[in-house]
């Protein structure tokens, strides 16, 4: 399974990414190694949203769509 996810950083900002293992990816973000440069200085992060997909391409496509949303649109997405 592949996932598109959003985490909330310690400073309140949102980061969107994709992974094939949510647990491992969150651990990487919070340990500051192999995580995103963006989240490295904004730890800790907490998972606030995710969607599952059958392929990497679908997850990456959705990540791109979400990253293009405004903060307000992302917050609406979190309130499903």
Domains of the chain, first to last = 2-78 (3.40.1440.10)
pLDDT band at 35 (very low <50, low <70, confident <90, very high): confident
Tell me whether the omega of the peptide bond preceding residue 44 falls within 30 degrees of 0, making it cis.
yes
Residue 32 is predicted with a pLDDT of 86
Rg (CA), the chain: 12
pTM higher than 0.75: yes
Q: Which two tokens stand for residue 44?
A: 């800790």
Q: Is the pLDDT of residue 34 over 90?
A: no
Mean pLDDT of 54-63: 98
């Amino acid at each position: 399974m592949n996932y598109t996810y959003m985490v909330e950083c310690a400073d309140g900002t949102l980061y969107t990414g994709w992974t094939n293992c949510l647990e491992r990816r969150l651990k990487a973000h919070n340990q500051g190694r192999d995580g995103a440069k963006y989240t490295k200085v904004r730890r800790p992060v907490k998972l606030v949203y995710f969607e599952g997909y059958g392929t990497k391409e679908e997850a990456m496509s959705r990540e791109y769509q979400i990253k293009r949303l405004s903060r307000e649109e992302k917050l609406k997405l979190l309130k499903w």
